[in-house]
């Protein structure tokens, strides 16, 4: 029983990654989308999620280049500029971005929303604590700040239900920042969610056959 669960989880996780790669990585570029608001994500994976939702209504880029290890990446002047010029910032949360927090906090523009893709998801067990216990949060800080540095395994996207929550959070963040294109964000999010759910159903059906 346990082996079946592990196989199902592994195949679904692989399917999510492949779906994102085939849908969003065809251009082979780090930047995606159109000439609308500037959306800057911390990782290429989040850029792929955001790119699917943004379509041509926003320009999406990732701070960390594809293929670069998040934990060894060193911020550049260009990265600080990208954060400063962003209209929306998208982070994973749960302290995945320990090496990026300072550059985001120090350079984000006043009032620029930070979308926490994993918001609303319970912390996974057995995770990467990433020094989350060292964060000293003031009472007046926004709840999103706590999610950014919360302890636990941050790799939520490796299941379809959690990936769907990522899409929903990004959709809501973009729509709030750019209400003129809210309908487009909504429709593209619905399309992407349907693809993710179809993938989930297909994998599970195959394993149960």
Q: What is the pLDDT of residues 7-34, one digit of tens each?
A: 445 555 555 555 555 444 433 335 666 6
CA 37/CA 137 separation, integer angstroms = 30
pLDDT, residue 85, reads 97
Lowest mean pLDDT among 18-32, 60-74, 164-178: 18-32
Tally Cβ neighbours within 10 Å of residue 169: 22
The mean pLDDT value for 69-83 works out to 84
Domains of the chain, by residue range, sit at: 2-208
Judge whether residue 165 has pLDDT over 80: yes
pLDDT one-digit tens code per residue, 104-137 = 889 999 999 999 998 988 765 544 443 433 333 3
**CB contact at 8 A, 185 and 54:** yes
User: What is the per-residue pLDDT for 112?
Assistant: 96
Q: What average pLDDT does range 32-39 have in this prediction?
A: 81
Residue 128: per-residue pLDDT? 43
Instruction: Assign 71 a pLDDT band (cuts: 50, 70, 90).
Output: confident
Of the chain, the percentage scoring pLDDT greater than 70 comes to 65
- When pLDDT is averaged across residues 145-171 and rounded to a whole number, the result is 72
CA distance 146 to 69: 24
Average pLDDT, the chain: 76
Structure confidence at residue 172 (pLDDT): 98
Tell whether domain 2-208 is in CATH 2.120.10.30: no
Whether the predicted model's global pTM rises above the 0.85 cut? no
Contacts of 160 (CB under 8 A, 6+ apart): 12, 15, 16, 196, 197, 199, 200
* 30 contacts 66 by C-beta, under 8 angstroms: yes
């Amino acid at each position: 029983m346990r082996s079946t669960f592990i196989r199902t989880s592994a195949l679904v996780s692989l399917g999510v990654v492949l779906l994102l790669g085939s849908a969003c990585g065809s251009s082979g570029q780090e930047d995606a989308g159109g000439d609308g608001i500037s959306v800057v994500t911390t990782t290429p994976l989040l850029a792929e999620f955001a790119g699917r939702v943004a379509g041509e209504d926003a320009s999406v880029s990732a701070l960390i280049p594809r293929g670069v290890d998040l934990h060894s990446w060193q911020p550049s002047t260009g990265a600080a500029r990208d954060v400063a010029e962003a209209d929306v910032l998208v982070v994973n949360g749960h302290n995945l971005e320990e090496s990026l927090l300072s550059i985001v906090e120090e350079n984000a523009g006043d009032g620029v929303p930070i979308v926490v893709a994993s918001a609303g998801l319970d912390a996974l067990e057995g995770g990467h604590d990433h020094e989350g216990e060292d964060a000293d949060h003031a009472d007046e800080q926004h709840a999103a700040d706590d999610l950014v540095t919360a302890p636990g395994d941050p790799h939520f996207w490796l299941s379809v239900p959690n990936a769907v929550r990522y899409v929903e959070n990004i959709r809501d963040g973009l729509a709030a920042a750019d209400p003129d294109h809210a309908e487009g964000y909504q429709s593209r999010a619905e399309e992407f969610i349907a693809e993710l759910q179809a993938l989930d159903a297909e994998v599970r059906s195959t394993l149960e056959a």
